């Protein structure tokens, strides 16, 4: 598939690639996002950092159902009535979304978990708005950069139900939109609806089932900010199941399967980009103590396109070529350790091998190492430093001349959070991103460099 890159920076949580919880942790809101660098499920899997500052308003109202419903209606209105129809360039399997949902504070998570255990049900409603500046909106090479201010607005509702057999059901609805000043082609709207059901099978085993529906409006452009003829808006449907076994009080093993169907909005006169992707995974975690653990994981996925012709080794797509088929292997190792009472450090290594089953045009190897350090300065102040370095080598895709395409990428970010009140917090983040490629011509896989700064607010009910 001749594709264009997704020049986007963002932390996101990949569906089904969360850490399976222990029995005690299983009812915690796993749908709530965390600020961490994770890999996405698509072609080149660029996982750059989209930095943002967030201000969080917190309300704890037991009788806020009206407010929850009101925010849902507002969120849907924002997400669909004003969801943009154009945006950034994207490579089909390289959709690193700007996942700017503020993480749910730990104290609120604990409160809602306690409510669910005592009453059988709890819910949390959140609405947020934050403003920022991106110095290189379209991830363009030097001399073509365009800077712009942007605003992200959204809302989500998270529910948690506990049953007498100790099973739990967690649901989440989220809608948000990002709009750029003077760059409408970069605007994007998103919608997500998901649920997770967890049921103990025996004293030491359990089954987790996850379902999710996603929508993203068309935001595909080239490095000049021009939209493409094709509409890249899509709906995606995810399903997964994981069998969990507490081998000992410290060891947890997980074995699971997952399935994704990505349904693009069709463009008249062009072939469909729809694809399916079943996969299996295995997981092991050893917990040394509180906040101190080692996690190992493996994934195997099979991706098959409905109508997209595979490319020849030189990138040429012929109507007589078979449809694209890929196989993907990925291994991950993560180590987390507390450094005293106030510091926590995380380091993670990921390796991915993608195999194009036709003539290897899409095949590549990718190595990524990421780390973060969290400092709880005071009871109300938290600082986090995140970094990620990635090296990617293609088997057949060419750069300049006859050189095989390769690049390395660096992402750095510093986030500060301060809770002014029980319901109000301030956030500040500054981020830097950089990519060094051996390709200096064309509109894809070029060098880019930039920074992002932003501030915002979040309201909890």
Is residue 259 a part of any domain in this protein? yes
DSSP state of 4: -
Is residue 15 a part of any domain in this protein? no
Distance CA 59, CA 73 (A): 19
What is the CA 212 to chain-centroid distance, rounded? 14
CB 412 within 8 A of CB 431: yes
C-alpha closest to that of 457 among 182, 56, 22, 2: 56
C-alpha closest to that of 328 among 17, 108, 8: 17
DSSP state of 185: G
pLDDT confidence of residue 104: 67
Is residue 320 a part of any domain in this protein? yes
For position 161, which CATH number holds?
2.40.160
The per-residue b/e assignment along 328-364, b for 16 or more CB within 10 angstroms, e otherwise, is bebebebbbeeeeeeebbbebebebebebbbbbbbbb
Domains of the chain: total: 1
Distance CA 371, CA 30 (A): 21
Is residue 24 a part of any domain in this protein? no
pLDDT confidence of residue 103: 61
> Residue 74: which domain range?
56-460
Is residue 372 a part of any domain in this protein? yes
Please identify every stretch of the chain with a pLDDT value under 70, giving residue numbers as ranges. 1-104
Residue 221: C-alpha distances to residues 88, 138, 183, 225, 368 (Å): 4, 8, 11, 5, 26
Is residue 215 a part of any domain in this protein? yes
pLDDT confidence of residue 34: 29
Residue 421 CB-density burial (10 A; 0-12 exposed, 13-18 middle, 19+ buried): exposed
Is residue 39 a part of any domain in this protein? no
pLDDT confidence of residue 421: 76
Reported pTM:
0.79
Q: List the Cα angle 108/112/117 in 5-degree steps.
A: 150
pLDDT confidence of residue 275: 97
Q: What is the pLDDT of residues 51-83, one digit of tens each?
A: 222 232 333 333 334 444 443 434 333 333 333
What is the CA 138 to chain-centroid distance, rounded? 19
Distance CA 380, CA 145 (A): 38
Q: 291 - beta bridge partners?
A: none
**CB under 8 Å to 359, separation ≥6 — which residues?**
310, 311, 312, 313, 396
Is residue 285 a part of any domain in this protein? yes
Sign of CA dihedral 76, 80, 81, 84: positive
């Amino acid at each position: 598939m001749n594709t264009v890159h997704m020049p986007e920076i963002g932390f996101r949580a990949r569906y089904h690639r969360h850490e399976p919880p222990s029995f005690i942790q299983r009812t915690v809101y796993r749908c709530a996002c965390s600020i961490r660098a994770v890999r996405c499920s698509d072609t080149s899997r660029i996982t750059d950092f989209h930095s943002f500052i967030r201000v969080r308003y917190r309300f704890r109202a037991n009788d806020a159902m009206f407010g929850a419903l009101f925010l849902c209606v507002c969120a849907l209105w924002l997400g669909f009535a004003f969801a943009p129809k154009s945006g950034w360039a994207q490579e089909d399997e390289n959709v690193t979304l700007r996942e700017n949902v503020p993480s749910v504070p730990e104290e609120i998570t604990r409160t809602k978990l306690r409510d669910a255990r005592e009453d059988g049900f709890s819910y949390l409603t959140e609405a947020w708005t934050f403003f920022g500046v991106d110095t290189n909106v379209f991830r363009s090479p030097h001399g073509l950069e365009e800077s712009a201010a942007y605003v992200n607005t959204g809302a989500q509702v998270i529910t948690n139900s506990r049953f007498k057999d100790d099973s739990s059901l967690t649901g989440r609805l989220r809608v948000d939109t990002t709009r750029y000043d003077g760059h409408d082609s970069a605007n994007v709207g998103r919608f997500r609806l998901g649920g997770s059901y967890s049921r103990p099978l025996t004293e030491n085993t359990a089954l987790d089932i996850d379902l999710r529906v996603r929508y993203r409006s068309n935001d595909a452009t080239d490095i000049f900010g021009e939209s493409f003829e094709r509409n890249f808006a899509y709906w995606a449907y995810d399903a997964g199941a994981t069998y969990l076994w507490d081998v000992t009080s410290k060891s947890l093993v997980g074995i699971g399967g997952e399935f994704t169907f990505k349904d693009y909005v069709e463009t008249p006169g062009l072939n469909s980009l729809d694809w399916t992707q079943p996969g299996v995974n295995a997981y092991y975690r050893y917990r040394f103590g509180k906040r101190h653990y080692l996690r190992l994981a493996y994934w195997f996925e099979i991706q098959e396109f409905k109508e997209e012709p595979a490319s020849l080794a030189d990138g040429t797509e012929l109507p007589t070529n078979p449809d694209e088929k890929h196989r993907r292997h990925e291994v991950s190792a993560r180590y987390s350790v507390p450094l005293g009472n106030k510091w926590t450090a995380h380091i993670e290594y990921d390796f991915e091998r993608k195999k194009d089953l036709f003539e290897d045009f899409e095949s590549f190897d990718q190595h990524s190492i990421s780390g973060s350090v969290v400092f709880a300065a005071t009871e109300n102040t938290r600082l986090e430093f995140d970094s990620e370095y990635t090296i990617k080598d293609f088997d057949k895709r060419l750069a300049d001349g006859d050189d095989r395409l390769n690049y390395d990428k660096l992402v750095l970010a510093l986030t500060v959070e301060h809770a002014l009140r029980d319901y109000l917090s301030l956030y500040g983040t500054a981020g830097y991103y950089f990519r060094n490629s051996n390709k200096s011509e064309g509109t894809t896989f070029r060098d880019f460099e930039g920074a992002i700064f932003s501030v915002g607010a979040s309201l909890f009910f």
